[in-house]
Each structure stands twice: as structure tokens, then as C-alpha cells.
């Protein structure tokens, strides 16, 4: 299968590192012009330079999407592909999560994507083609005891995505969610270190994390960001024209169910 996204523009939120950057690289590698976003101007510019070195067409935009998407919308009023990847997570005991943290997680992980979809979707519908994706998590289905505020937002994303797919019904625009499983990123390395005691070598710490905290994974390893990106690139393509309103799992078999 040859995926060609030449002539398409893709906005990828939270794309200065990790899964977002891998998605941006995958889309750029298939010919799309990619808009990177991140709060830290230095980091998002560095990520853009990395992709430009591969010949990619890239535009970095420094913006806090949870607070004000205006700087992005001013520079990129339209797009063909929107990947709502922005998210925050951290371990915190359930009974110690204050109201302001619940609000921050909802604003960042859910409402930021809603705002961008509400802005970009009408243009896609009027042009008769577009792709919107929300990056969710296995935590949407299997709420982790150590971060229920994060799990709550990812469950919400499943409903939001399905609802926007219905709003775009029959227009040629697809809206889907990708459910990512435990993935190897810098942030996850920090998270693993919080939960695995001792100063263990990374490979051993990773194995212990999967054994003790994610034992139902059929991969029995962390997923690489590029493996998430492969699904996103496919869903962004013409070949995925009949897939919409779905929640597609790239979770290494973590969720112990046939359907999400």
C-alpha cells in the first residue's frame, strides 16, 4: 500500500516530541505539509528543524492550545488533516486530585481538541474531504488507579470523536480515535521511574513496569511511537475512506476485549 498525502496540510498538536513528533514525521514522510505545535518555542522549532533535515515541509507554531488556540488559527485557518494529540498525564492518588487539576486535564486533553475540531471541521465538510483524529489511550477503557483524571479525559475523547463523526456524516470527512497502548516516550520513561523503585537499568525497569502495572499487555513491551504513527498515517489516507466513527486500537493487546 502506497499512501500519498501530497498536497495535503496536516496540523498535529503536541508534536514537539514523543508520539506527536512521530506522527508528524510519518505524515511528512507520506508527502503532507505538517504544522507542528507546542508551548515551548525552542522545542517546537528544534522538532521542525529535525523534520526539515529529512526534506519535510514543516511549519512550527508555538501556542498554548489549552489556553488560546488563536495563534495557530491565525496562521493556519484551514487544514485537511487534524490530529488532536495534545495531552498531559501524571500519577496522583485519586483522593488527592484537586478541582483545579480536574479542570486542567479536561481543558488540555479534551476541550483543546474540541475547539480545533469545531474550527476546522466545517471547512473540511464544505470541501468534501478531511481527516480528524483524536489520540486516546488504553486508559480510556481500563481506567488506571494511579491517574483516574487522565483516564476520564481519554474516555471523554471517545465520545467526542464519535459525536463529531456523526456531525460529518455523508460529507467525505472521517473522524476517528486511535487508542494508543503503553508507549515508549521520554515522558513515559519518567512515569515508569516514578512507579518502579530503585535505580534499575532501563530495560529491567521497563520489564518490571509492564509486569507489575500493565501485565495484560500481549506485546509485553512498550510500543514505539512510530507504531502509533503508522495507524494515524493510514487513517489520514484515501485508503481509509470507509473508516469513520471508530476507535482503533494500537495497544499491543493491552485491553482484554474484542471491542473497545
What CATH number does residue 115 fall under? Answer: 3.40.50.720
Mean pLDDT of the region 217-238: 95
Residue 128 lies in domain: 9-183+223-250
Cβ pair 51, 42 in contact under 8 A: no
Residue 130 within a domain: yes
Mean pLDDT of the region 230-255: 97
Residue 4 within a domain: no
Mean pLDDT of the region 215-229: 93
Residue 189 within a domain: no
- State the total domains in the chain: 1
pLDDT, residue 199, reads 86
Residue 52 within a domain: yes
Match 508555538 to its residue by C-alpha cell: 62
Mean pLDDT of the region 57-86: 98
Which is the catalytic residue, given 89, 105, 120, 150? 150
pLDDT, residue 190, reads 87
Q: Is the pLDDT of residue 147 over 70?
A: yes
Q: Is the pLDDT of residue 244 over 90?
A: yes
Q: How confident is the model at residue 260 (pLDDT cuts 50, 70, 90)?
A: low
Match 529491567 to its residue by C-alpha cell: 204
Mean pLDDT of the region 236-241: 98
pLDDT tens sequence across 3-33? 999 999 999 999 999 999 999 999 999 999 9
Residue 210 within a domain: no
Mean pLDDT of the region 182-197: 87
Residue 257 within a domain: no
| % of the chain exceeding 70 in pLDDT | 100
**In angstroms, what CA-CA distances link 229 with 85, 107, 171?**
11, 24, 25
Residue 194 within a domain: no
pLDDT, residue 251, reads 95
Q: Is the pLDDT of residue 198 over 90?
A: no
Is 150 in the active site? yes
Residue 208 within a domain: no
Q: Is the pLDDT of residue 1 over 90?
A: no
pLDDT tens sequence across 36-55? 999 999 999 999 999 999 99
pLDDT, residue 188, reads 82
Maximum mean pLDDT: which of 140-144, 216-220, 240-244: 240-244
For every residue of the chain, which 3-state class applies, written as one string? CCCCCCCCEEEECCCCCHHHHHHHHHHHHCCCEEEEEECCHHHHHHHHHHHHCCCCCEEEEECCCCCCCHHHHHHCCCCCEEEECCCCCCCCCHHHCCHHHHHHHHHHHHHHHHHHHHHHHHHHHHHCCEEEEEEEEHHHCCCCCCCHHHHHHHHHHHHHHHHHHHHCCCCCEEEEEEEECCECCHHHHHHHHHHCCCCCCHHHHHHHHHHHHCCCCCCCCCECHHHHHHHHHHHCCHHHCCCCCCEEEECCCCCCCCCC
Amino acid at each position: 500500500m502506497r499512501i500519498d498525502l501530497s498536497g495535503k496540510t496536516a496540523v498535529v498538536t503536541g508534536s514537539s516530541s514523543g508520539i506527536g513528533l512521530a506522527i508528524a514525521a510519518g505524515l511528512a514522510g507520506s508527502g503532507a505539509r505538517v504544522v507542528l505545535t507546542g508551548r515551548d518555542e525552542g522545542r517546537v522549532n528544534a522538532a521542525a528543524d529535525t523534520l526539515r533535515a529529512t526534506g519535510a515541509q514543516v511549519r512550527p507554531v508555538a501556542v498554548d492550545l489549552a489556553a488560546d488556540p488563536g495563534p495557530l488559527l491565525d496562521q493556519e485557518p484551514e487544514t485537511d488533516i487534524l490530529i488532536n494529540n495534545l495531552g498531559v498525564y501524571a500519577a496522583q492518588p485519586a483522593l488527592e486530585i484537586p478541582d483545579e487539576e480536574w479542570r486542567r486535564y479536561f481543558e488540555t486533553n479534551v476541550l483543546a481538541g474540541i475547539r480545533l475540531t469545531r474550527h476546522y471541521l466545517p471547512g473540511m465538510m464544505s470541501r468534501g474531504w478531511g481527516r480528524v483524529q483524536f489520540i486516546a489511550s488504553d486508559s480510556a477503557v481500563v481506567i488506571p488507579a494511579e491517574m483516574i483524571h487522565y483516564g476520564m479525559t481519554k474516555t471523554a475523547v471517545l465520545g467526542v470523536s464519535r459525536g463529531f463523526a456523526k456531525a460529518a456524516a455523508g460529507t467525505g470527512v472521517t473522524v476517528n480515535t486511535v487508542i494508543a497502548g503503553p508507549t515508549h516516550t521520554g515522558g513515559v520513561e519518567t512515569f515508569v521511574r516514578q512507579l518502579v523503585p530503585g535505580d534499575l537499568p532501563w530495560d529491567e525497569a521497563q520489564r518490571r513496569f509492564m509486569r507489575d502495572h500493565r501485565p495484560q499487555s500481549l506485546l509485553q513491551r512498550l510500543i514505539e511511537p512510530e507504531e502509533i504513527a503508522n495507524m494515524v498515517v493510514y487513517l489520514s489516507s484515501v485508503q481509509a475512506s470507509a473508516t469513520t466513527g471508530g476507535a482503533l486500537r494500537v495497544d499491543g493487546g493491552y485491553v482484554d476485549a474484542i471491542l473497545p
